[in-house]
Each structure stands twice: as C-alpha cells, then as structure tokens.
Amino acid sequence: MQLSEVRLIGVVGAGQMGSGIAHVCALAGFEVLLSDVSAEKLGDAQALIEKNLTRQVARGKIREEEKRAALARIRPAAELSSFADCELLMEAVSEKEEVKREIFGKLVRILKPEALIATNTSSISITRLASATDRPGKFIGMHFMNPVPVMSLVELIRGIATEEETFALARDLVLKLGKTPVAAEDFPAFIVNRILLPMINEAVYTLYEGVGTVEAIDTAMKLGANHPMGPLELADFIGLDTCLSVMQVLYEGLADSKYRPCPLLVKYVEAGWLGRKTGRGFYDYRGEAPVPTR
C-alpha cells in the first residue's frame, strides 16, 4: 500500500495522545474516525482538538479555514465496527499490554486484510503486540511525543516481522504530518523513554531520599541543566501511572536494578495521584497555581 491510498485513518483512544494524533492527521488532509470506550472522553477530545486548533490559528500557524476543514474531517466512532473501511488504524489507549492486546484481538476481525495497524506505545515490545494480530508484517510502532500537535518527533519501531513496505508508508505519513521520523530498535522503551524515564525516576529517588524538595529539584534542573520543565513537573504532565508503566517495562525487560521504579512513585500511583489529569501528583493543581505536595 502507498500513502496515496490512505484516505481514512482510525484512532482508538481519545486521551491526550489519541486526540493529538487525530488533530495532526485531520490537519494533514486525512479523514479520521476517533473512538473511545468513554463517550464523555470522546466529547472532551473533540473540544480539546478545537481548542488546540484555535490556538494554532491565533499564533498564525494555520488559517481559520484550515481549522474548520480539519474539524470537519474528524468523526466520532461509537463502535469499533466503524473502522471496517480504514486503511490505517492507530492505537493510542493506556500503556497496558493486556488492554492493547484485547483491542487488537477485536480489531483484526473488523479491519480489511490490507489495513495497517500502528501502535503509539511508548515502551512495550512491538513484536509482542504484533503477535496479538493476524498481520505482524503490517504492524508497526509509531510513538508520537506529547503534546502531539507541538512536538515534531515520531519514533518508528519495527517488530521482527514488520515489512519494509509498512515501515516506508509509516515514514511517509510522518513526513506528511510535518514531523521528523527516527528509527528505533524494538528494545524496551525505545530511544526517548529509555533515556528520559530513568532520569525522572532518579529525580523521584532524589525526592524520596530527601536530597531536595519538589521545588528545589525542578528549579535545579531547569536552571542547572537548562531543561524547559523540571523532571517532577514533567512526570505530572506525562502521568505518573504512565511513568511507572514505562519503568516497569524497563525493569522487567532489561533485568537491571538501575531501572527499579522508585517506591515513592509507586506510592503516588497507588494513591491515585497521577499528576495533572487527576489534579494531584508531585504538585497539587486544584488551586490557582500548582503547589508542591512534598
């Protein structure tokens, strides 16, 4: 299949990543079907996409007519059966392997045989996920960065069976979206998160061991390493549950104690303090300004 043959893209999962992927695909001229198990989340995603497109218009990145056209290309899909006509399916559900495998098991009974499947996993084995489908050769990892409309990188990860034609189409799509592809091998957490998440985990250890407060750690890394966002603030933005999931994949996949998730990170996730999305993480976001929780 060539990129010119891709007209309808399905996106499963309407959270931060799924809504962002739908946004950039629609803006690039593709028809998009967006699905989620939660009707409320689907509504929130459509509102977020409109808000982000409006922001792009205000900043002169796109024209008002481009915004309207993009919004018109995105349609909600109440049932997975709606994806029967898709040439490409993007999976962007939570970073839990059992959830992804279950969805792929349902989708392969619906998708046409030539349809490609891409997963936005940030850490899980592409080869293993592909084995849950009937088309490992047409399966690839396309790891977008958050927030998708702003970040220019996409990691492309082949599974052991991924065909060259599949990789070439995914690469062409990334370029069509105005983003930069990098090829990563199918090792736990790939490139970005293999480097980024252990740094965040180490920042949590630094807090856990009392070396510095939340504010001190974030200020130190912003001013001392010129990072635009401190590691604990970034963890809250990513979601502490996602951070923990990636660290668990690294720890289990590479069997190296340096990847052991910090007990404090585990405790925050157990408490349901997952960061911005729940109103509390390393910062409390329920007031006018974020306040450190430790």
Please list the active-site residues.
122, 143, 155, 193
Contacts 24+ apart (CB under 8 A), 96-99: 96/245, 97/124, 97/128, 97/129
Nearest to 203 by CA among 268, 143, 146: 268
User: What are the beta bridge partners of residue 31?
Assistant: 8
Please check whether residue 91 is in contact with residue 22, taking contact to mean a CB–CB distance below 8 angstroms. no
DSSP 164: H
- Can you list the positions of beta strands (E) in 63-196? 74-77, 88-91, 116-119, 139-144, 153-158, 180-184
- DSSP 3-state assignment of 43? helix
CA angle, residues 35, 39, 43, in degrees to nearest 5: 85
Q: How far apart are the first and last CA of the chain?
A: 53
Question: Where does residue 256 rank: exposed (0-12), middle (13-18), buried (19+ CB within 10 A)?
Answer: exposed
Placement of tokens 């790939």 in the chain: 190
Cβ neighbour number for residue 3 with a 10 Å cutoff: 16
DSSP 258: G
Nearest to 245 by CA among 69, 121, 71, 87: 121
